[in-house]
Chain A
Amino acid sequence: MSTDRADRSGLLDRHLAFVEALRGAGLSVSLAEDLDAVAALSALHWTSRDTVRDAFAATMVKKQSQRTTFDALFDVYFPGMVGDGAGTASIDGEGAGEGEQGEGGPVRDNGEALLSFRDRLAEMLEAGQMDPAELQRMAAEMVGTFGSMPGRGPGLSSWSAYTALQRVAPQELIDRLVQGLMADGADEDDARRVANQRIGAFTAMVEGDARRRIAEEKGPDHVADVAVRPSIDQLAFMAARRTDLDEMRKEIFPLARRLATRLAKEQHSRHARSAPLDFRRTVRASMATGGVPMTTHHRPKRPHRTDLVVLCDVSGSTANFAQFTLLFVFALREVFQSMRAFTFIDHVHEVTGHFRPGADPVDVLADLAASASHAALWGRTNYGRVFTKFAEQHSDALGPKTTLLILGDARSNYSDLHEDTLKQLAGSVKRSFWLNPEHERNWGTGDSAAPTYGEIVRMIECRNLNQLSEFVHELAW
């Protein structure tokens, strides 16, 4: 910050580039908010980077799910340190800490250095109270020493968090950490949990530091374009990592709750005027105006409800997607009159029983995963066979009031597609939809039968939580 402060026009450019990057990442930062941010900055002292970050966040981020994206971009555009961090005052004014750490820069990447670094890292992670500034410095050192990819000419050197993480492999420290924590009196589960958490946090720091260095080399705009992950509700199901999946799962129920209240409210207000008059309430309300019914009250309209049948591909390629969609629909079941769910790979298996009201989502997911084995006889997805089997065994599930929902990528291993069976199934229900977790541009490539099936059943791209909730909104109407 200190150099920017001397050069005012440079700060403005940086600010504008930052706002552009935020917009590019999907945050809607309007001109009004942009101006607010500048006003907020001028109302504050820039003594602490955290204060500046909080001020930016308060004025420009209006949705918590976007906060991760914001933080990553903020670190790229307003980095906490430059280069290896030596010589620059670190964020909290910990200038004294830098002196003893002379080895940070010049150490070469060799086996000995690796061993000693891992030792120091393990020691630090084992400590009861971790110092985030120190940990941050450690991450910087790790990327600087083990993650550099030099030698491709000036301006072309780069840093890779991946290489650094491969070399140091903090995951392998977990057992050591667990031992250390248990020696301090924690029980094993707790220790393992804490260890995983700390390593995860450290990994994130390393990734952030690599982004920062690349931004220094190639300019922040480049990093903002390629390296910042989208926020959790825009992240594609198929591209999600394990930690993302956990986070997404935590989002599912709140999201469903939000959607359910929205649906209830819309159903409540949409037909208010055309609904029959509530005579008693109208008369009672007219007392305030001397018996003149100035405002009329209406009976709430009966919500229209849907029978839902979900047919869900649980083969390896779509397993993540299927879990989310099933859980999401399950969480919304109050909106639907009844719901039956079937999973399949090449054989159909009913899983409605797992969705007990009030059931624990973790158990439900585990049960679903276990029951995936019932859905396969040969283990290769075969949509044609599944539709035939479904028509034979479960056609009683479908009726004129039913909405049929098929979830899958329509990749059928070049088998017979049996379009007529699907046509027949789709013909016996009120509406039918197909959610496809693949990007629309990939439909029809390879063994994808998306175009064929898409002609019979309306096929919708559904790759992230946002698209999923938009779709369910349409479905529930």
Chain B
Amino acid sequence: MTWFESPADAATRLGAAGYLADAATATTSYLAGALEKPLLLEGPAGVGKTELAKAVSRATGAELVRLQCYEGLDEARALYEWNYKKQLLRIQAANSSNGNGGGDWNATHDDIFTEEFLLTRPLLTAIRRDEPTVLLIDEVDKTDIEVEGLLLEVLSDFQVTIPELGTVAATRRPFVVLTSNASRELSEAVKRRCLYLHLDYPDAAREREILQQQVPDLDDRIAEQLVATVARMRELELKKAPSIAESVDWARTLIALEIRDLDQAAILDTLGAVLKHQSDHDRAVKELKLKRA
């Protein structure tokens, strides 16, 4: 199956799935499908990296398999694991049934390393599925370096080697999306296998469209004020610049509080929805000249 027909097709279908993609995003998503290469998304938190993977799965009707990365993630959590408990039970059952204590060891040995005792984790699951699959490897920069080695085989050949069972190759290549906040540099080897796309804060027009799509009740004037204010904040030297997710949150906050005009007092009252550091608050208050009326 082809994932998208063309960049334009990608843009339309992602749009229908609720994700407004800019030209670069649409082109790169199309290429990831057409070249069957994993797509590495990098960029600040909250600009819609994970959302893109979800949108691809919605737009193409593929199922999403997600591997959330964290420090200490290992093979057993990412690839596969043997179900020790079940294996133990199997051995004990074999022992008690033939009564002479481990007589037919060879049979049991072959028996406990079969599919039945295999617990597949996200990576293996995605590879073994016959239906279209989007594999999301989220926040890959949070893992230890060793896990990257694990990903290499999966990402370049779409196969996993299990010593007791042999190599499991993908029957149908999943659409792989890796996301990273760039909190550490990924290895060259991983990057070489991926297409790369840096997602950044959108321009004002696109952000307004996103807001209006996500928060339909928002009226035009306040959306414009909100986008302008957020854009202004992103230019300040903040510890954590407001992301798309945060401007959507802010819009929802304004609606919930029934604020109809985003004046200085309103910004000051709801600043907590967008800025999450005290020093960022101080800076914004100073630079935007916010004062309590």
Contact = CB atoms under 8 A, between A and B. Distances in A.
Interface in B99-135: none
Contact of B24 (A30, A57, A265, A358): A57
Given A43-B35, A358-B278, A362-B237, A64 B23 contact: no
A288 B37 CA distance: 37
Interface in B39-57: 40, 42-43
Nearest to A261: B183
B84 A289 contact: yes
Contacts, number: 99
A15 interface: no
A120 B289 CA distance: 34
A349 to B, nearest CB: 24
A62 interface: yes
Contacts of A288: 84-85
Interface in B128-153: 144-145
A32 B239 contact: no
B221 interface: no
A40 B196 contact: no
Contacts of B40: 62
B118 to A, nearest CB: 15
B142 to A, nearest CB: 9
Given A36-B37, A51-B7, A28 B188 contact: yes
- Looking at chain A's contact residues, the main secondary structure is helix
B88 interface: yes
A39 B35 contact: yes
Nearest to B190: A62
Contacts of A39: 35
Given A43-B35, A250-B237, A290-B84, A265 B184 contact: yes
Interface string A48-65: 001100110111011110
Given A359-B279, A360-B283, A43 B31 contact: yes
A249 interface: yes
A36 B34 CA distance: 11
B27 interface: yes
Nearest to A266: B145
B105 to A, nearest CB: 17
Contacts of A268: 71
B184 A262 contact: yes
Contacts of B237: 249-250, 253, 360-362
A44 B37 CA distance: 15
User: How many interface residues does chain A have, given as a range?
Assistant: 35 or more
A476 to B, nearest CB: 15
B154 interface: no
Nearest to A52: B27
Contacts of A51: 7, 23, 27
A101 to B, nearest CB: 26
A67 interface: yes
A123 B293 CA distance: 37
Nearest to B72: A268
A36 B268 CA distance: 49
Interface string A196-232: 0000000000000000000000000000000000000
> Which of A63, A249, A253 has the largest count of B CB atoms less than 10 A from its CB?
A63
A67 B196 CA distance: 11
B60 interface: no
Most chain A CB neighbours (cut-off 10 Å) among B31, B182, B278, B282: B31
A34 to B, nearest CB: 11
Most chain A beta-carbon contacts within 10 A, residue among B27, B185, B235: B27
Contact of B182 (A193, A249, A258, A265): A258
A300 B287 CA distance: 43
A30 B192 contact: yes
A257 interface: yes
A243 interface: no
B61 to A, nearest CB: 22
A43 B30 CA distance: 9
B6 interface: yes
Given A44-B7, A249-B237, A62 B84 contact: no
The 6 tightest CB contacts between A and B, nearest first, are: A62-B191, A54-B27, A43-B34, A64-B198, A58-B28, A54-B24
Given A40-B195, A64-B43, A289-B84, 11 more contacts: A43-B31, A44-B31, A45-B6, A50-B24, A55-B27, A55-B28, A57-B24, A58-B31, A62-B196, A64-B198, A361-B237
Interface of A: 28, 30, 32-33, 36, 39-40, 43-45, 50-51, 54-55, 57-59, 61-64, 67, 189, 193, 249-250, 253-254, 257-258, 261-262, 265, 268-269, 288-290, 358-362
5 contacts: A36-B195, A54-B28, A58-B31, A288-B85, A360-B279
